[in-house]
Amino acid sequence: MFADAMAHHRWNLVEYDFTRFRADMLRHELLSDIKTIKTKWDMLSAQGVIRPYGRKNYDKAELNLWAFVPYMSTQAQSLLIETGKEPVGRRTAEVA
């Protein structure tokens, strides 16, 4: 996910959507039924980790990587930090 953010010159936001989120949850066997997956999406949205937009609040979203860190594996956290990117405290920042 964060490789995608860097490819689009954003430090902390990644384009995301519910379909991809559901596929990620099922692929990694983190959540197994659609109701639980939707509840998790709504919880992450309420916490500001995912910012849905679009007609149904499930069409598209921005995933804030730094807010998502507590939900990442230790290996993913290390890889994100090793890239040299730091939280910037604003929505997006262009790479110099």
Q: Has residue 87 been placed in a domain?
A: no
Q: Residue 6 to residues 34, 46, 51: CA-CA distances in angstroms?
A: 30, 25, 19
Q: pTM, whole model, 2 decimals?
A: 0.60
Residue 10: its pLDDT value, please?
56
pLDDT tens across 9-68, in order?
455 677 788 888 888 778 776 677 888 888 888 888 888 888 888 777 667 888 877 777
Answer whether residue 85 shows pLDDT above 60.
no
Cα–Cα distance, 91 to 87 (Å, whole number): 10
Q: Is 53 part of a structural domain of the chain?
A: yes
Residue 89 lies in a domain: no
- Tell whether 42 is covered by a domain: yes
For the record, the structure tokens of 52 come out as: 């849905």
Does some domain include residue 88? no
Say how many C-beta atoms besides its own lie within 10 A of residue 95's C-beta. 9
6 within 8 A of 95, measured Cβ to Cβ: yes
Residue 24 lies in a domain: yes
Residue 71 near residue 29, CB atoms below 8 Å:
no
Q: Give residues with Cβ within 8 angstroms of 45, minimum separation 6.
A: 51, 52, 57, 61
Q: Which domain holds residue 44?
A: 2-82
Please check whether residue 91 lies inside any domain of the structure. no
Domain membership of residue 92 (yes or no) is no
Tally of domains in the chain: 1
